[in-house]
Every structure is written in structure tokens, then in C-alpha cells.
Chain A
């Protein structure tokens, strides 16, 4: 996240505020959240209007002590530091060869007059560093890739992940799919949404000393796009019919592929589904999409021999992998939730509601 939008101020200029009280609602790339007052006092000045997009770390408002006047704001200037740039003296030929071989001239020792780097020096360096990993291309680590990296790091660092897996018989889901022309993903979303209303502890977030259980069931779907992974959200999936889920998802995926998703369509997820089945993956350990509590990984569907009534029959089987935040729930409720998902998919009847 590099900038956020100011959605709503809860206080006006001149109003008193207590430390910890929500003062402003901010929308990031993926979620909205309330910013709490870092100190008690009076909101002296609001610097960003509702609707403004503001870079991260920019001042949004100034809180002063009750009897404190706002001092004249002085322009804060960065102390100017004399930067003596170390000029690399290299011949044009040395520079060309360095360019052709992606050699950083700063690494090369020049043997010419006054340490000038010649073509020979670069060639010797290339020869000496042969076998080391050569960099062919450097991709800037910015934008959606960086945001994704920050978020998975945050999740992996803060939420102790545990992953459980379960096999699901999709015979009925397949029928449903054919009959109503919906996808397995639609069925999964609907099943997950149903299960989340039952096991609402999974539909939650851990915030400091509270586990907040969400009222809404907003299911995010991880979509791989050319720009990177994004997660459009199907709001109130529990209240939508299977057909409605299907049409909403279709629209969102279309928008995702064209980069047309709005902030609203990417925000407020309470649970995420990620599918690697199309790549032949059976089981994996997905990383929770913060600040959610769990994520469901979907594997491929394979025709497998299974025993039914002491007879071996072939059935289409899908593997589900549920990663959950072990701080919020233990294995048992997570397993119950997953079993619920499994049962809903296997029966598939309740989905037609």
C-alpha cells in the first residue's frame, strides 16, 4: 500500500478527542479501517478532506493539547546533505561491455591510469565471476507485487498458520454444475458462505484484544491477472442464490482481468478462496489473506476409486486445504467448519436455496 483514501472523518476541527477513539476511516488498496487517535486533545486542523487520496505517512490531522495553540507551521526542510558522488571512471568500451554483460562497474577494479576501468578489466571481472549467478534482468519490486509481498509477510509473521485437508466427493456438485451451468467455484463460494454462517468464528478478524466476528459474509476469490494476484470480493455471499453468486463472480473476474475493479469490489473480504486445481495441484498450504482468519485452498478434481458400501466405485474427488489463524481458533472448530463445507458440497441440495 502506498496511498489511502480518506473516507470519513468522525470528528470535526475543534472537537475533543480521547486517545484510542476512532478519528477517521481510511480505505487502502484492499480494506477500509478506522484510524485511532494517537493522543488525547483537540482536533486543531484537518489536513485531508473526505475523498482525498493521501500518500502513506502523510499527516491527516493535527491534535493539540486542550490549551495549546497551533503553532505557525513551518516548512520542514530536509537537512541538505552534501552527497559526494563517487564517479566511476571507465572507458566507453568498458562501459559498453559492462552493459552487454550486466556488470556493475562499481564492482570492477580499474587498472588504468588513476584507476580508470578499461575493457580488459571488465572482461577479467566477467571471467572471474563466471559460474556465479548471472543476473539477466532486474524487475522493479513495486506496485501490486510489493503490496502482495508485504501482505503475505505480515500474515505469515503474525498469524500462526495451520493447514488441514479433506477430500470432497463432487459427484453432486458436478450434476449441479451441468444442470444450472455454474462453476465449481460458484458452488464452493456458496458452500463456504453457508458454512461460515454456521461456524461464524471463522468469519472473523483478530484485532488487538478482541476477536471480531463479522456480520457480513464477504467471500474473496483469488484471481491471477497479468498484473498479479488480486482478490475481488463477493459481498453477502450467504444471502445470494447460487445463480446470483455465479453472475457476480463472472462479472468480477471479467473486471479483474481487464483491471477494471473498483476499490469497493476489492475491499471488505471476510474469507478467501484460492484455487490451484487448474494447475494440477492437489493439496497446498495457502497463506491467510490478512486480516482474515482463514483461507480455503482448492485442489484439482480427480477420478478416484473410493469404497462405498464395501464396493469400490470411481468418483470425482477434490481436495480442500484450509489454513487458519491458530490464535483465533483451534483445530477442532476449523475441522468442523471444513467438514461442513464438505458436506454442503457433497449434498449440494441446500445450495439450491
Chain B
């Protein structure tokens, strides 16, 4: 199978959906022909589909999401890009109080088929304002779906599903993923929401990891396998809806769980997953739940300090060994 980058996989999804459905259009800061998106995801799309369907916007996240939400309820399928996910804070009222609630407030008479693409995460030394992982914010707002795709294959398949979904979808990308190259089939496919993917099968410990942490967990699992410890890596792929059963099934098999996420530990996604396991699978736990997450701190600019706070293979290996005793 051919291998393409995560960036190209995303672009293919956008292009295919734009070709199939003329209500699909893009908007965001510098997504057009001059800058092609901050991470070049939209490269070539303005040339192919025209400036009407690939629209550069003023530097106002609130306006981008407001316009996109309005377009969505009138029947369009907008895909908004927030240049850095951190800046979604500027659009939070539009996301949490408008896009997420309109279908409910209008008694189901309107739909909000909106996708918001956002690069998150640390690792490129861009300091506290451009390195966060804010999935927990959105997790707490009913009405939003949350996608976190860790591979090129998932990125393309999930983005197509997101575009066709009639609800606002927060589409999480990670800065360090754009250049990974992975097999993606040429023929059309989609990846459904709410179906976790076991990225590596194992017997001794379950790791549930999201987004870029899936890759670090897989590296840690490889390292641990050399010591005879068999790790299963479960990637939920979507946080809303969450495939609880896949997590529980894995815990039933291994009896041990380590949750690896890049967001802050307190009130984080890892807390929610731990709670699911505690509520629904406590009788299968053979060791305390362990979480590997960012300590509650702004992401430092200093490269050594940034490495210090972000979960890595060493921390994951340490946590696995703790639960396996």
C-alpha cells in the first residue's frame, strides 16, 4: 500500500469531500492560496476549488466559528481551521454556547454540520500559548463530538466521517503528526466514530493513549516487549463518542491500565477514562490505575523543560512497570 503523510491524508479527505458535496467549504486564517494553511494542509485546494470555497478570514477566531456556525445552520458544511488549537479559547462562546447548543435549543429543527480543525500539542518549542492540549475543555460540553486521530489512515477516514456528520465536530490534529508517513489505501473509505482501535495487541497491561501519545506508547510497548512485558495499546480515536467497551474489554483481559494523554493531569481526559474503568470494570483491575499526563503547568519554552513535562517513552515504561510490580 502507498504511504502518505498525515498532512496529505487530511488534504485528500478535504478534497474528496469537496468534490462530492458542493456545500463543503473551508475557512480560516491563511488557509487560501497565499499561505496554504499554517501547516500546509490546504495546499492546492484554493487553486482547484476557487477562493469562494477556500476562504481566508480576518484574524478573529470568534468570527470564523460564528460565520461557520451560521453557514452550517443554513445548509452548508463548513470546515473551519483554527491556526493553533490554543486560540480556540477566543472562539469558545461560539463553540460551546452556540454551535454545541443550537440543535438542542431549536428542538432538533436545525443541524450544525460543522468541523473545526485544530492543531494542538507540544514538542516544537513554541511555548505556553501554542503548545497546549485542550481536549478536556470540549469534553465537558455536551453537543460536541471530539476526534483525535493518531495515524494518516485514521486522519483521512475520520475527517471524512466528521464532514458528513450533522453535529459540530472538534477535529484534533497534532503538530508532530503532520509529517509521519503511513499506509493509506487509494480507494475510498471512512472510519466510524465511537470505535476504538487496538494499535497493538498485548496481554499484560492496557495502555489507552490519544493522538501523538499513541506513537510514544507504541514505542514504549516495543521497548517493554524486549523485557517480556506484553502491552496492549488502545487508541479510542474519538473521545465523544467514547468506545468504553473496547477499553473495558482490554482491561478485562489484562487487569491493568495506564492512561497516557498529553493534556494536564487534573481534570484531564485520563481522569474520565479512569472513571469509566472504575465505574464499569473495577472487578477486573488487578493494580491501581496509572496516568501519565502533563503536570499541571504551562508548557515551557525551554526545550529541556518542555521535554521534562511532556509524557515520553521513559515515563510510560516506568508507569507500566509500576502497575506490573
Taking CB atoms and an 8 Å cut-off, the chain B residues in 62-81 that contact chain A are: none
Which parts of B274-299 form the interface with A (CB within 8 Å)? 282-287
Min Cβ gap A109→B in Å is 15
Tell whether A93 pairs with B255 under 8 Å between CB atoms, given A118-B286, A118-B287.
yes
Neighbouring B residues of A96 by C-beta, 8 Å: 283-284
Determine if B325 and A93 form an interchain contact, defined as CB atoms under 8 angstroms apart: no
Interface residue? A112 (CB, 8 A)? yes
> Is B325 within 8 A of A92, CB to CB?
no
A92–B285 alpha-carbon span in the complex (Å) = 6
CB of A29 within 8 A of chain B? no
Contact at B325–A119, with CB atoms within 8 Å?
Answer: no
Of chain A, the residue at the smallest CB distance from B283 is A96
Q: Find chain B residues with CB under 8 A from A79 CB.
A: none
**Interface of A (DSSP majority class):** helix
On chain B, the residues within 8 Å of A119 by CB distance are 255, 286
User: Which of A91, A93, A96 is the most central at the interface, judged by chain B CB atoms within 10 Å of its CB?
Assistant: A93
Size class of the contact patch on chain B: under 10
| In the bound complex, CA of A96 to CA of B286 (Å) | 10
Chain A residue numbers with a CB within 8 Å of B286 are: 91-94, 118-120
A side interface size, CB within 8 A: 11
Contact A91 B285 (CB under 8 A): yes
Distance A113 CA – B287 CA, assembled complex (angstroms): 10
B283 pairs with A95, CB closer than 8 A: yes
Contacts of B255 in A (CB 8 A): 91, 93, 118-119
State in angstroms the CA–CA spacing of A220 and B244 once bound together: 66
Alpha-carbon distance A93/B248, docked complex (angstroms): 13
How far does the alpha carbon of A94 sit from the alpha carbon of B283 in the complex, in Å?
8
* Bound-complex Cα distance A94 to B255 (A): 10
With both beta carbons as reference points, the residue of chain B lying nearest to A117 in the complex is identified as B286
Chain B min CB distance to A338 (Å): 63
Nearest chain A CB to B228's CB is how many angstroms away?
15
Kindly list chain A residues whose C-beta atoms are within 8 Å of the C-beta of B287.
91, 112, 118
Q: Report the Cα distance A96→B285, complex, angstroms.
A: 9
Residues from chain B with Cβ under 8 Å of A113 in the complex: 325
Instruction: Please give the distance in Å from A178's CB to the nearest CB on chain B.
Output: 64
On chain A, the residues within 8 Å of B325 by CB distance are: 112-113, 118
What residues of chain B lie closer than 8 Å to A94, measured between beta carbons?
286
C-alpha gap A326/B286 in the complex (Å)? 63
**In the bound complex, CA of A93 to CA of B286 (Å):** 5
A89 → chain B, closest Cβ, in Å? 12
Q: Closest residue to A95 on the B side, CB-wise?
A: B283
A-B contact pairs, 13 of them (CB 8 A): A91-B255, A91-B285, A92-B282, A92-B284, A92-B286, A93-B283, A93-B286, A95-B283, A112-B287, A112-B325, A113-B325, A118-B286, A120-B286
Residues of B within 8 A of A (CB): 255, 282-287, 325
Q: Which 5 A-B pairs have the closest CB atoms?
A: A93-B286, A96-B283, A91-B286, A119-B286, A93-B255
